[in-house]
Amino acid sequence: MRGTIVSVLVLAITGCNLTPAYQRPQVPEPASWPQAGLHAQTLPDRWWQSFASPPLDGLVENALAANQDLAAAIQRIAQARAAAVVAGAATWPQVDAALTTTDTTRSGNSASAAAGGIRHTGQISVAYELDLFGRVAATRQAARERLAESRFDHEALRLLTVAEVTQAALNLSATGKRLALARANLANAQGVLAVLDARLDAGRVSTLERDQQRTVVATTEASVATLAQSEAGFRNQLALLSGAASPEFTAPAVAWEALVLPAVTPTVPATLLTRRPDLRRAEAQLQAAGADLGAARSALYPSLQISWDRSWTRSPAATLTTLTGSALAPLFRGGALRGEVARNEARQAELVAQYRQAVLTSYREVSDALDAQRQSEARSQALDRAAAAARDAYAGARARFEAGAADYQVLLDALRSQIQADDAAVGARLERFTAAVSLYRALGGNTAL
C-alpha cells in the first residue's frame, strides 16, 4: 500500500503540462515615429494637468470617482477575482464531514430486539484530484489571466473616460468662445442694419442693401442658436461622464484663453506594448486562451482521484478507515472532446490575429495624432493671421462706410470675412488641443491619481 501511494505521488509531481508555452506574437515594430524623430520622453502621470486648467482637473477627478461605467468595471474585476478563487479551489483537497443519528426500535422478546436504540455515526471524507495532465492548473491560470484582463479593461476605460472628459471640457470652452464671438458679430451686424435703416429712410441706400444686411443678421442669429445648443450638449455630456444628472449639473468654467497647449513628445513605439492597457488586455486574453487550450487537451486523458474516509460509530463502538483511488478515462464522447480542442485552437489563432491588429492599430493612432498635431499647428497659425487681418479689414471698412467713403458691399464682404475667420481660428486652435488629447490617449497616458 505504501509503495502504491508513493508511486501515485511521484506521478502527480511529474505529470504532463499540456498548456502551450506563451510567446508574444511577432508584429512589425518601427524603430521610431517619422513625425517625431528618435526622441523618447516619459509621459506625465496626470497628463490632463498639462493643459494648466484647475477646473478641468476637477472635472477629470470627479469623473474618475463617480463615473458609472468605471464603477461597473470595478465590479467586473470583483467577479473575475471571485472566479479565480473558485478555479483555484480545485488545487486543494475537498474535505467533508457528516454526522448521522439513527434511532432504531425493534419489537419482540428475541435477543435481536435488545440491539435496538440510538446509534451515532461520524464521518470525515477527504478527496483530491491528482492533476496529472495539468487541467486544474490550466483552469486556474485561465482564471488568473481573465482577472488581469478585467484589470486592464478597467485601466483602458479610465483612459477613455479621462480623454472624453478632457475633450468635452475643451469642446465646451471652445464653443463658449465661438458663441461669444458670434454674439459680438451679431451686435456688429445689427449695428450696420440700424445704419442702413436710417439711410434707407433718408433715401441714401436701396432696399436691396438693407435686405442683404437683414440676411446677415438672421444667419448670425441662427448660428448663435446652433452654438448655444452645442454648448448645452457638451455640458450634458460632461454630466453623464461625471455620474451626475444633467438638469442639476453645472460645469465649471474652463477659460479658453487661459488654456495651455502641451508639447507632447511620443515615447518609442516599443513602449506601446506595455503602456497601452488595451494591448495588455488583448495579451491577457491571448494567454487565457492558451490556458483554455491546455485544459481542453488534458480532458482527452484520464483523471485520477484519491479519497480517504474515516467513520466512527458508537453503540457498538467501531472505527472504519477507507483509502480509495479511482481513475476515469474518456472512451467515447462522439468527438466532443476533440471538437473542444479544435475550438480552443481556433480561438487562440483568432486572438493572435486580433492582437496583431490591435498593435498595428495603435501604431496608426499614434501616427494619425502626430500628423494632426503638426498639420493643426500650421493651420491654426495661418487662421490666426487670417482672423487678425479680417478684423482689421472690417474695422477699416466700417469706418470708411460710416464716413461715406465706401459702399455697403465692401462692408458686407468685410463683415462676412470676419465672422468666418473668427470662428475658423477658434476651431483650428481646438483642433490642436484635440490632437494633443488624441496623442496622449494613443500613447497610453497614465491615469493614476
Give per-residue pLDDT as tens, 379-408. 999 999 999 999 999 999 989 988 888 888
Please name which of 278, 259, 243, 276 lies closest in space to residue 166, comparing C-alpha atoms.
259
Q: Which amino acid is at 72?
A: A
Which pLDDT score, from 0 to 100, does residue 318 have? 80
Q: Whole-angstrom Cα distance, residue 33 to residue 362? A: 12
Cell of 279: 494591448
Looking at residue 427, what DSSP letter applies?
H
Kindly report the average pLDDT of the chain as a whole number: 89
Instruction: Give the distance from CA 82 to its chain's centroid.
Output: 22
Length of the chain as a residue count: 449
pLDDT 10s digits, 307-334: 999 998 875 678 888 999 999 899 999 9
Q: Find how far residue 197's CA is from the centre of its chain.
A: 58
Higher pLDDT residue, 267 or 115? 267
pLDDT score at 448: 73
Radius of gyration (Cα) for the chain, nearest Å? 37
Going by pLDDT thresholds of 50, 70 and 90, the confidence category of residue 5 is very low
Examine residue 330 and say whether the peptide bond preceding it is cis (omega within 30 degrees of 0). no
CB 320 within 8 A of CB 127: no
Label residue 266 by pLDDT band (50, 70, 90): confident
CB atoms within 10 A of CB 239: 18
In this predicted structure, what is the pLDDT of residue 268?
81
Angle at CA 246, nearest 5°, toward 73 and 234?
Answer: 85
Instruction: Enumerate the β-bridge partners of residue 120.
Output: 101, 314
* C-alpha–C-alpha distance, residues 130 and 307, integer Å: 11
Specify whether the CB–CB gap between 376 and 432 falls below 8 A. Answer: yes
In the chain, the amino acid numbered 430 is L
Q: Is residue 300 scored above 80 in pLDDT?
A: yes
- 281 Cβ neighbours under 8 A, 6+ residues apart: 149, 152, 153, 156
* Region of poorest pLDDT, from 13-22, 263-272, 281-290: 13-22
CB atoms within 10 A of CB 378: 10
Cell numbers for 217, please give them.
Answer: 443678421
Helix (H, G, I), strand (E, B) or coil at 401: helix
Cell numbers 463683415 correspond to 415
Residue 109: per-residue pLDDT: 58
Greatest Cα-to-Cα distance within the chain, rounded to the nearest angstrom: 139
What's the CA gap between 266 and 43, in Å, rounded?
Answer: 8
pLDDT over 60 at 287, yes or no? yes
The pTM assigned to this predicted structure is 0.86
Confidence of residue 204 (pLDDT cuts 50, 70, 90): confident
Residue 75 pLDDT > 80, yes or no? Answer: yes
